[in-house]
Structure formats: C-alpha cells, structure tokens
Chains A and B, each alone.
Chain A
Amino acid sequence: MVAENTSKTLSVTLRVWRQAGPDAPGRFVDYPAKNLNSSMSFLEMLDVVNDELTKRGEEPIAFAHDCREGICGTCSCTINGKPHGPGHGIATCQTYLRSFKDGDTIVVEPFRARAFPLVKDLVVDRAAFDQIIQAGGFISVRTGAAPDANSIPVPKPDADLAMDAAACIGCGACVAACKNASAMLFVAAKVSQLGLLPQGQPERDQRVLAMVGKMDELGFGNCTNQYECSAACPKSISHDFIARMNRDYLTASIRATFKPASASAGGGAG
C-alpha cells in the first residue's frame, strides 16, 4: 500500500522523456501540472497536460494506453524509476494522484529494454512478446475438435495455480524492471499456465524449448534471481513460476536428447 495523499488538489512537475522517433535523440522535458484533483488517474493527468500542450501549439506526449482498467496491458510508463509507478500489483492506468504529494517532481520514462525498441516519447514496440507466443505459447487444438469440457477434470489447486500464471497482461513491466531485461517471468507465466493443465501435456517439452529459444534469439537477457520482475508485475505474478519453467526446460532438454523418435514421424497413410 502506498502512503496516500489526503488533500484534494495538488501540483506537480512532470519530467517526461521526449523522443520524436526511434533514431532521434531523446531528452527529459519538464512540464508543470497544476491544481490537479487527487482522484484523477495518472493517465488522466497526462490527458490534461496534452490538451494544454495542444492549445499552446506543441506536440502532445505520445503514451500507450487503452482500457484504463489494468487489464489490456497497453500502458507502459516507468514512473520515478518503477515500471507502472509506485503502487504494487497495479498498472500505470490504475495509478491515482493520491499516491503523490503536492510539489513532487515525477519522472516519466518509457519501458527501456533492447528487445523493446522505442517508437516515440513513452511508446515502445513490444512485438517481441507476440513472437514468443507464436513460437509455442499455445495448445494446438483445431476448432471443433475438442472433447466435452468436463471430460478433462483438472484438480482445483492446479486450475487455481494455472489461473495465477494466466493473469499475465503482457505489458512488459517485468522486462523493464529487470537489470538484464529478461523476459523470464512473461515466458514462465505462459509455460506454467499450460504446463500445469492436463490439456497442455502433449506439447509441454516442445513448448518450453521453443519459447525459451525464441526469447533468447530476440535479445532478452537472462535471469539472475533478483525478482524485480515480480515486484513490478501489475498482476503480482510470482517468480516461483520461473523456477518451475527452469525445471521444465531442464527435463525437456534431457528428454529431447534421449527420447526415441519414430522413424516415420510426421508421415501418414497416403
């Protein structure tokens, strides 16, 4: 819980990273934001500042946002050095000004990671996450081929744990928070969700090997067990899933080396 400001209005200075494009030089620019209602959200404050900039003939600050209720994973600022700001278990869009004090200087930056190239101002390109999922973050089931849902019982504790992992919103805060810009928490969440469920077993080995391989290929760093990722995660996804993924990866690697493969693998009757 963040210490909450009880006064109704406040004024702050925003120190915002401005960068016109991926190859342009970037710099911090200060913007005063005055007489703000403490019930205002952080992004609503940016809306107000942008409207003022527009009226002055300046270009507004580009920032990613959409649902504004902490579920779409679009918003992505680093606020005072913390991805998604001072609160725990919430996204930037769920940050309210009551978390700040009158007179504060608030530093606002994009998520910084080599695998997330900057697009403009506070907006970065997180397509690398989609590519990791495309490499194996799914269960291969054709539409229409599924058995009756209750024919696959799932023990409640497994289902609950899978849901904890599945809560990931794909925002990239874990990468931005990690000194190695590792995507281990993101990948571990998906690997664990599917690996915990009986439906995910047939592709379990192949999935973890493919997703980890893609993550490495895309330039994400490795995990050195600092757990900043979990601390920054707006869904408080536990770093325990990283350990689970490491176990999965190890056993999958061993099995991939020793598992006999059918000589006619992939072949079918003509």
Chain B
Amino acid sequence: MAQLDSRIPAGPLAEKWRRHKTEIKLVNPANKRKYEIIVVGAGLAGASAAATLAELGYKVKSFVFHDSPRRAHSIAAQGGINAAKNYQNDGDSVHRLFYDTLKGGDYRSREANVHRLAEVSVNIIDQCVAQGVPFAREYGGLLANRSFGGAQVSRTFYARGQTGQQLLLGAYSALSRMIGAGGVEMHTNSEMLDLVVIDGHAKGIVVRNLLTGAIETYAADAVILATGGYGNVFNLSTYARGSNVTASWRAYKRGACFANPCYTQIHPTCIPVSGDYQSKLTLMSESLRNDGRIWAPKKKEDAKKDPNSIPEADRDYYLERMYPSFGNLAPRDIASRAAKRVCDEGRGVGETGLGVYLDFADAIKRLGEAGVRERYGNLFDIYHEITAESAYQVPMRIYPAVHYTMGGLWVDYNLMSNVPGLFVLGAANFSDHGANRLGASALMQGLADGYFVIPYTIGDYLAGQKPGSRPSPDAPEFHAAEENIRAMTSRLLGIKGRETVSHFHKRLGKIMWEHCGMARTRAGLEEAIRLIPALREEFWANVNVPGSAATLNQALEQAGRVGDFLEFGELLCLDALKREESCGGHFREEYQFSDGECKRDDANFGHVAAWEYQGIDRAPLRNTEPLNYEFVKMSVRNYK
C-alpha cells in the first residue's frame, strides 16, 4: 500500500507556505547546474516550470509531443485568470479567493494547497505583466477586471477572449529565452511513453520521436509531468484532439497513485453537438454569463419555436429563478446540471433538444451592439463560424460539455507524487480544485505550480540526491522500458483489424458520457465497468493501425493514446462507483437533496481517493488521504 503523506506544514494557515519556504532544503547555486530535470509538457505549468528552473541554474530538458512548445491546450482558455489583487476595491483578499476556491471545489481539496494558490496568485499577475502579456486595461492605463462564476468580486484578469493564449505565449517566451541561452534543451515532436523508476525513484523517461519513430531514453535527477487533463476519455470534449492521459497513465502503471479521477467538469456553455462526424466541442467562454441570460421555454411545445417569438412571460430564466444571488454566474457544475434537468424535462432547444438559450438581447439594449461586440466580439465570431448564426440577432444555443478534469496524479504539498523524484504540475495533478474548479482558476493553478511552487519545492528533493548520482541511460531499467515500448508499438501495428482507432474512441466516449457524465448511478457505472473491458479486448483484437513505426504515423500515436483511455476510463468509472456521495463535478443520482443539489457525505468520503496500480489483471487498490479541515468548516455549498 502506497504511503500518502501530504506533508502539509504545521502552523497557522496563512503562515504555512512562508514558513515552509524558509524551512525546506536548498541546493546551492554552484550545485544546481549538476542536476538535470526533465519536464514533460509545455503548457502553462510545464513551460513556466522549465523556464524558471533553468533561470535558477538547473539543466532542464523539455519534451512536448507538439511541433512547438507554443501549442499546448492552455492556449485555448478564453476567459481569464483569477488573482487576489483587490485592484477593484470590492472587498477581495487572499482569504476570500482561498475560501471561494475551497467552497467552489465542494470541500474536497486541501486547505493548505488552496491557500498557497491564493497567496501566489498576486505574483502571477506581476510576472505576466512584466513579460509583456497584454492584459485588458482601463483608460487610466491600469489593469481591468471582470467577474466570473462562483465569485462575488471582480478578480479576473483577461486579454480579450484569449487569456490562455497570452499567458501561454508569455511562458513560452520565457522558455524560449532559456532555450536560446542554453539553459533548456528542447525536444519537440517527442511523446513520453514510459517513466523509468530506479530503486523506487523516478530517474528518466522513454519517448518516441514522432517524426522519425526513434525510441529514445533520457535520464535525469527528477522528472516533472505537466501533461494536462484527461477529458478526452469522453472523446467529445472541449480539449484539443491530441490531449491525452498517456504520460500520467504510464506513470500510474509505474507506481504513481491516481487521485480522484471521477472529478470531471462539464462546462455549461458549449456549442451543442450537431452530428456523428463531430470531432470536438467548442466552448463559449463563461465570461459570456456576465451579460448573457440563460433561459429555456417554460412550455415543451415552445422548444422548437423561433426564440425571438417566445414572449417574456413564457421564458424560464432558470438560473436566476433557482439561484437568485448568483443567478447566471452560478458555478459550472450547478449551471450544467440545471441545463440537463431542463432538457430532461423536454424543454431543450435546437434540433437535438439538447440545448438552452444564452441570450444577449438585454445586454444589447443596455450596452448597445458595439458595447457587446467590444466585450465578446471574438466569441460571437466563433459562434457564427460554427453555427452560421448571429448571436446579435438570435440567442446562442448552448449545452454542457466535458471541459476539465480535477483529478490527476496524487501529489504532496511539494507537488511530488508518491514515487520520489516524480513531480506533477498543473491540470495533471489533483491538488487544488477539489471536486469542481471555478472559472479562471486553471490558468492560475498552472502558473502557480510552475513559476512559484516547484522552483522552491524541487530543491527539497534534489538536496537529498548526490550531485552526479543520476543513473546512466544505459541502466537495465532504461533498456527494459524501451523494449516494453517497442513491443507495444509492434503489437498495435500487427493487429491489422477492421476498425479504425477513432471508431473505438467514439464508442468509449459514448459509454463514458452515458454512464459517467453529468449524472451517475450505481447501475450505470456497473454497466460501464462491464462494457469498457469488453471494448478494450475488441480494440486489441480488431483495431487497424496502418503504416509503419519508422515515420510520422498519426494513427499509431492515436492508437497508443486511445489504448490508454480504454484502461483509464474503467478506473474513472470505478472511482465514481466507490465514491458514494455527490460532490462538485461528481453527481450520483442516489445522493441528492430534494431540490437536486449535491448531498455530500463528509463523514465517509471527506477524503482523497488515490488509486494504486496492482498489475494488469488485478483490481487497483483504493488508498485514502483524509482531508483534515483545520480552519474552515465543511458546509453545504449554497449559491441561492
């Protein structure tokens, strides 16, 4: 059984991080260059970590499967990044951001981690502005803010609808600077396929060069995974097509515990599905909920009518009705489930009946079309590209879609997994968002981990590793891992079955969405746990992966990723089955209040579930880490 020591420092909440920083071990500047650190992934967390560690003097090797470190899906985040700057003088503070994030996460995250996140949030904005990130500004030249779901203050900094892009390009520029200076060795088109563990410590990785097919091994003193979330297990999601769980999953199979995989976030404002060929779903930023009003017809028979012809009295602005104090800005999980309920009642709109309206008519009356265009023009353009409809004239149709995953590899306060030397940052870890993430907090967490946490905490581990003691990539463990990957590649190419990789991905996605989506039941989850292994078996017997291993082969890349999703999906459903409560993004129909709200069970499930791999044919072990709330009382979330 894995040892899960969260290593949360003692002391008052607001003092923990400051004190921890002064107490953990340091590596002296002359020794830093003797340590090599591998960073996998170059999204917000990976790029900021690689750049910062190189600035400190460590030798860094950065790996991405993309053709450039500027492509990671952090780039697609639209709305903004939270920080407790209180520039609006509206009562914000570190404590309030901490509390909102903890409450938003439905009391399933660690107090100390979340407080640290809120503390460093202010440094992130300083750092990004200094890098030249063009945040929105007021006429006086100072920074502008907007409000976001789950908060009653305006603490979100933004760069039009492209905040993720601008923050990522800031981190990319810092990374590029260090590549140019020789501090980071960049490996693009390189997909991590295995973690190498020697004497219980993570000491290297195996990658496939996606252009040449070469299998390569790299040794290091520590390995950092910043490889993002696993939402593509649902096939249709707002993720990029390439986003995958492979790096995390292969680390899991080498001993790293996977925590809370059932915490998945369904974003309330996405463009509804239109057909079977569909490859992805597009998010309409949550910021639209600042000015747009969500409604559905009160009467089923109005569902197919032209929305502009439905009189005000026949419209149900259900979020404003059910949650008067937060209204359209209710947190994502709550807003998503409310949309599902409305559609389940037969009041959903659009061709499929799976949609509700997001209406800007009032905002246009108040701000004028130009005012709305200035705030949301690019989002309205995106909507028009996809649907050929103008949201200035007819309300947008939206429906919830898989958008983010709060679970991830288990890490301690230092962001180190239970495998010493393996650190996990950003969306790939589980630590800060609990059972539900608030809007504009993913960017905050990615950059907090990379710029302001790992540069301190990694030293605590490295100081215990003798400089120059890292193993050679000729060690037998490297050869064994390399052979393992070669064998898997040959096996995939050798099946020569009748169905494509995408066929299996779509079927897995349907199982996941139907049985483990917005609302879950014991029977449904048990059904999924029967269906997924059967589908996996079919995959390994009947998938067709054309081409060779010696060139760019996108089908082979996708096959490896879908193969992992077919294993991981089962764990996700198992976690959802065993968590017999509802909390945040995990909603079990058996556990709800009469008004449909989540019924948590703090006594029995006020813990982190961290799954430990036991071998291919054995059930994984469910370890638990109790969530000890010292400062805040776990209470019922109330947004009414």
Binding site for B on A (CB under 8 A): 4, 20-21, 37, 39-41, 43-44, 47-48, 50-51, 53-55, 57-60, 62, 64-74, 87, 89-90, 94, 96, 98, 119-120, 123, 125-127, 129-130, 133-150, 152-156, 159, 162-163, 166-167, 169-170, 193-194, 197, 199-200
Let me know if A142 and B138 touch, CB within 8 A.
no
List 27 contacting pairs A-B, 8 Å CB cutoff, sorted by A.
A47-B277, A48-B277, A51-B503, A57-B546, A59-B547, A60-B547, A62-B552, A67-B73, A67-B75, A71-B76, A74-B71, A94-B385, A123-B552, A127-B188, A130-B70, A133-B172, A134-B179, A134-B180, A138-B176, A141-B131, A146-B129, A156-B139, A156-B141, A166-B169, A193-B134, A199-B129, A200-B132
> Is residue B137 within 8 Å, beta carbon to beta carbon, of the partner chain?
yes
Complex: how many Å from CA A162 to CA B279? 33
Q: How far is the CB of A116 from chain B (nearest CB, A)?
A: 11
Which of A4, A146, A162 sits near B126, CB closer than 8 Å? A146
Which of B159-167, B251-259, B397-405 participates in binding chain A?
B159-167
Let me know if B544 and A55 touch, CB within 8 A.
yes
Excluding A47-B277, A69-B282, 9 further A-B contacts by CB distance (< 8 Å) are A57-B546, A60-B546, A67-B71, A72-B73, A72-B240, A143-B48, A167-B165, A194-B132, A199-B132
Q: How far is the CB of A196 from chain B (nearest CB, A)?
A: 8
Which B residues are CB-close (under 8 A) to A127?
67-68, 188
Let me know if B68 and A138 touch, CB within 8 A.
no
Determine the interface band of chain B, counting residues with CB < 8 A from chain A: 35 or more
Which B residues are CB-close (under 8 A) to A150?
85, 87, 142-143
> Is residue B451 within 8 Å, beta carbon to beta carbon, of the partner chain?
yes
Let me know if B71 and A66 touch, CB within 8 A.
yes
Which A residues are CB-close (under 8 A) to B280?
68-69
Let me know if B385 and A146 touch, CB within 8 A.
no
* B492-513 residues at the A interface, CB under 8 angstroms: 498, 500, 502-503
Which B residues are CB-close (under 8 A) to A89?
381
Q: With A133-B176, A140-B177, A159-B136 in contact, do A152 and B129 touch (Cβ < 8 Å)? A: yes
Let me know if A90 and B385 touch, CB within 8 A.
yes
Which of B66, B68, B126, B241 sits near A147, CB closer than 8 Å? B126
Let me know if A44 and B278 touch, CB within 8 A.
yes
> Is residue B614 within 8 Å, beta carbon to beta carbon, of the partner chain?
no
Which B residues are CB-close (under 8 A) to A57?
546
- Max chain B Cβ within 10 angstroms of own Cβ: one of A37, A65, A71, A96: A71
> Is residue B386 within 8 Å, beta carbon to beta carbon, of the partner chain?
yes
Which of A53, A62, A138, A154 sits near B131, CB closer than 8 Å? A138
Which of B76, B141, B173 sits near A153, CB closer than 8 Å? B141
> Is residue B391 within 8 Å, beta carbon to beta carbon, of the partner chain?
no
Complex: how many Å from CA A44 to CA B273? 13
Let me know if A135 and B130 touch, CB within 8 A.
no
Which A residues are CB-close (under 8 A) to B294?
none
Which B residues are CB-close (under 8 A) to A66?
66, 71, 73, 240-242
Let me know if A58 and B546 touch, CB within 8 A.
yes
> Is residue B436 within 8 Å, beta carbon to beta carbon, of the partner chain?
no
* B68-87 residues at the A interface, CB under 8 angstroms: 68-73, 75-76, 85, 87
Which of B134, B176, B388, B554 sits near A4, CB closer than 8 Å? B388
Q: How far is the CB of A122 from chain B (nearest CB, A)?
A: 11
Complex: how many Å from CA A81 to CA B547? 29
Q: With A51-B500, A119-B211, A159-B137 in contact, do A143 and B127 touch (Cβ < 8 Å)? A: yes
Complex: how many Å from CA A41 to CA B387? 11
Let me know if A40 and B500 touch, CB within 8 A.
no
Nearest A-chain residue to B160, judged by Cβ: A163
> Is residue B261 within 8 Å, beta carbon to beta carbon, of the partner chain?
no
> Is residue B619 within 8 Å, beta carbon to beta carbon, of the partner chain?
no
Which B residues are CB-close (under 8 A) to A142?
55
Let me know if B277 and A55 touch, CB within 8 A.
no
Q: How far is the CB of A114 from chain B (nearest CB, A)?
A: 18
Q: How far is the CB of A35 from chain B (nearest CB, A)?
A: 11
Complex: how many Å from CA A154 to CA B132? 11
